[in-house]
Structure formats: structure tokens, C-alpha cells
């Protein structure tokens, strides 16, 4: 009997100890804000801002009703092709405001091409990324000739002085080197996206965040309806820009491309290096940096493709019905006359 009593006492003592510790762990007191773990979480939550989203009312998208029946709106690699009628800019603006993104717009105004800069900037202020933060990066060899243009809130202009070259072809090709260098040294610290544009153009209609993605290219207005055999790719195998006649998705214009700073850095660096290899081998691609851009985008598919609405020439091509809007258009001029000044 003494052995039974001692065994019973041990069992009862063990049960009491278990009840004591379990009650301590499970009691509300152990989960009060005074405990170290919960207190740390509460302090973290105290620093969070309340996220308020504005209510948005817009027509419901219809799964069985295509937004456009007359044009291709998605590539075989599932990148959207941006046409009027394929996006709701109100929705997109709200999404990009949540990102708090800043967009950089690079433009080269070398030699007499600085004369186009005033119209370029004035029309950009009316139509380019309205309501978002924008930094204009003007590359020029004539900083004193950069015009003063009134800029809206959250928008600024930075003048970057660069050298020039005797041939316009070299000026064009060296753009990739300048974009690559400044992307690593400066742009990646200041902006989230880069849009690279030609200066002898003007914005005629809305160009906004619908174009932004990690990497985008723009369909050439002269080839958007052509077969790949008709594209003016570089066809000489000796060139780094070579594309065979049985390859090619689209022909992209060198005057309007962009994406995230990281992806534009990769693109511009790769194109510049390829052009340097060509130069060492005594060959120059048929359309210079544009040829190398097309080669790059063939093997590094863009995540968005802009329709010819974003690159058009009314003087040469008129205004076909398929173009609901003309957003970024060429300014009438005599290129040769300007280059010879």
C-alpha cells in the first residue's frame, strides 16, 4: 500500500504541474500586448500607413466580346499590343500611382536638331505621362541652346552634355552607349522607367502609363502590315545585327522604345557592344542602331508592343482608319538640310 500511495502522489503532482504550465501558456494574459513578441508586432503595425483606395466605376470587361476585331492585340508570347480601345487609362493610372513610379524620358538634341526640342517638350507637357512624375533627360552638345519650357508639378528637366560626331550615323549609333553609361551612373538612382525617344517628333495625343512594362518596342509605321521577308533587317551574316529571312516577329522603330531602367540598360549595352564588334570587323548595319535594336528584341521578346499609333508620319502615310488615334508623330522637315547645317 505505501508503494501505491507514493505512485499515486507522483501522478497527481505531475498532473498539477502540467495544468499549471498549460494554463499559463493558454491564458489571455500571456497574449496581451505586454508580452515581448506581441509587443514587437504591435509596434510594427503602429508605423504602417492606412491604405485608402478610391472607388472606381467603369464598364465591366466582357470575356466574349473582343476589344478590337480589326487588329492583333496580343503576341504569340502573350505580350499585349497597345491600340486605342484595348485599355482603360483610369484603371492603369490608379495602378501606377500605387507604385509611386517616376518615368525618365531621354531625348538627343545634337547639332541643329536642338531646334526641335522646344516643340518636343511643350507637347510632352500636354500629353506625356500626365499626372505622373517625369524627368526629361536632354542629351546635347549645345546646352546653352536648350529652351526654357514651363514644367508641371513633379516634372523636371536635366541637361546632359555629350560630345558629337561628324557623321549623323555615328551620332545615332552612339546613343546606345550614352543611354547605357548614364543608366548605370545615374538613371537607376533617379527613375523607375526609361522611355527613349527621337527629338524630331511631337506628342499629338495621350501617351501614358499604358506603354510601361519591363521592355517595350514600337511597331514601325511602314512595316506593321508587311511580311517578315519585306522587313529591312540587316541581312549580311557578317554583322552582329544579322537576321535571316525566315526569322522575325515585327519590325521595330528605333525612335521609341523603353522599359524598366534595368532592362533598358541591358538592351542599350548589348546594342552598343554589338556595334563595336561590327566596327572592328569593318561593317555597319544597314539601319545602324535600329538594326541592332531589332536583333535584340527578336531574342529578348518585349513584354509590351506599341502599335503604330505611337510612331506615325501623317505627311507620308496619311491617317488610315485602323489608327483610331495618332499619339506621337513626325514633325515635317528636311533631314538632309538640317544635317548639313
Q: Is the pLDDT of residue 31 over 50?
A: no
Tens-place pLDDT, residues 124-178: 999 999 999 999 999 999 999 999 999 999 999 999 999 877 676 777 778 999 9
Tens-place pLDDT, residues 265-297: 999 999 999 999 999 999 999 999 999 999 999
Q: Is 290 a catalytic residue?
A: yes
290 is in an annotated binding site: yes
166 is in an annotated binding site: no
195 is in an annotated binding site: no
Structural domain count of the chain: 1
Lowest mean pLDDT among 14-23, 142-151, 242-251: 14-23
Report CA 224 to chain centroid distance, whole Å. 21
Q: What confidence category does residue 13 fall into, taking pLDDT thresholds of 50, 70 and 90?
A: low
Taking all residues of the chain, what is their mean pLDDT, rounded to a whole number? 88
Q: Mean pLDDT across the stretch 105-109?
A: 97
Does some domain include residue 6? Answer: no
The CA dihedral of 11, 17, 23, 29, to the nearest 10 degrees, is 170
Does some domain include residue 59? Answer: no
| Predicted pLDDT at 34 | 43
Does some domain include residue 22? Answer: no
Does some domain include residue 48? Answer: no
CATH code, 307: 3.90.550.10
The CA dihedral of 138, 142, 143, 146, to the nearest 10 degrees, is -70
pTM, two decimal places: 0.83
Does some domain include residue 16? Answer: no
Does some domain include residue 230? Answer: yes
Does some domain include residue 13? Answer: no
141 is in an annotated binding site: no
**Catalytic residue, candidates 210, 234, 290, 309:** 290
In this structure, the number of other CB atoms found within 10 A of the CB of residue 79 comes to: 18
| Predicted pLDDT at 102 | 98
232 is in an annotated binding site: yes
Does some domain include residue 288? Answer: yes
Range of the structural domain that residue 90 is part of: 81-339
Tens-place pLDDT, residues 200-236: 999 999 999 999 999 999 999 999 999 999 999 999 9
Q: Is the pLDDT of residue 49 over 80?
A: no
Distance CA 140, CA 108 (A): 6
Amino acid at each position: 500500500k505505501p508503494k501505491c500511495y507514493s505512485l499515486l502522489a507522483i501522478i497527481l503532482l505531475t498532473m498539477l504541474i502540467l495544468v499549471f504550465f498549460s494554463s499559463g501558456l493558454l491564458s489571455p494574459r500571456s497574449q496581451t500586448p505586454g508580452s515581448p513578441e506581441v509587443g514587437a508586432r504591435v509596434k510594427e503595425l503602429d508605423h504602417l500607413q492606412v491604405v485608402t483606395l478610391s472607388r472606381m466605376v467603369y464598364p465591366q470587361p466582357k470575356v466574349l466580346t473582343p476589344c478590337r476585331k480589326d487588329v492583333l492585340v496580343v503576341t504569340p508570347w502573350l505580350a499585349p499590343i497597345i491600340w486605342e480601345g484595348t485599355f482603360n487609362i483610369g484603371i492603369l493610372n490608379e495602378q501606377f500611382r500605387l507604385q509611386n513610379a517616376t518615368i525618365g524620358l531621354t531625348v538627343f538634341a545634337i547639332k541643329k536638331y536642338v531646334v526641335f526640342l522646344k516643340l518636343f517638350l511643350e507637347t510632352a507637357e500636354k500629353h506625356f505621362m500626365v499626372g505622373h512624375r517625369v524627368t526629361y533627360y536632354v542629351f546635347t552638345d549645345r546646352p546653352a541652346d536648350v529652351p526654357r519650357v514651363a514644367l508641371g508639378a513633379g516634372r523636371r528637366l536635366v541637361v546632359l552634355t555629350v560630345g558629337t560626331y561628324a557623321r549623323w550615323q555615328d551620332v545615332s549609333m552612339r546613343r546606345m552607349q550614352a543611354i547605357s553609361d548614364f543608366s548605370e551612373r545615374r538613371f537607376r538612382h533617379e527613375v523607375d522607367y526609361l522611355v527613349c525617344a527621337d527629338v524630331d517628333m511631337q506628342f499629338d495625343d495621350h501617351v501614358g502609363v499604358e506603354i510601361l512594362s519591363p521592355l517595350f518596342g514600337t511597331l514601325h509605321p511602314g512595316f506593321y502590315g508587311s511580311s517578315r521577308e519585306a522587313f529591312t533587317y540587316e541581312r549580311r551574316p557578317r554583322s552582329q545585327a544579322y537576321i535571316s529571312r525566315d526569322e522575325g516577329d515585327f519590325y521595330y522603330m528605333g525612335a521609341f522604345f523603353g522599359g524598366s531602367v534595368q532592362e533598358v540598360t541591358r538592351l542599350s549595352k548589348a546594342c552598343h557592344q554589338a556595334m563595336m564588334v561590327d566596327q572592328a570587323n569593318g561593317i555597319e548595319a544597314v539601319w545602324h542602331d535600329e538594326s541592332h535594336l531589332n536583333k535584340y528584341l527578336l531574342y529578348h521578346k518585349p513584354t509590351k508592343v506599341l502599335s503604330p499609333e505611337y510612331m506615325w508620319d501623317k505627311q507620308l502615310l496619311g491617317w488610315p482608319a485602323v489608327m483610331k488615334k495618332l499619339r506621337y508623330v513626325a514633325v515635317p522637315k528636311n533631314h538632309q538640310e538640317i544635317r548639313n547645317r
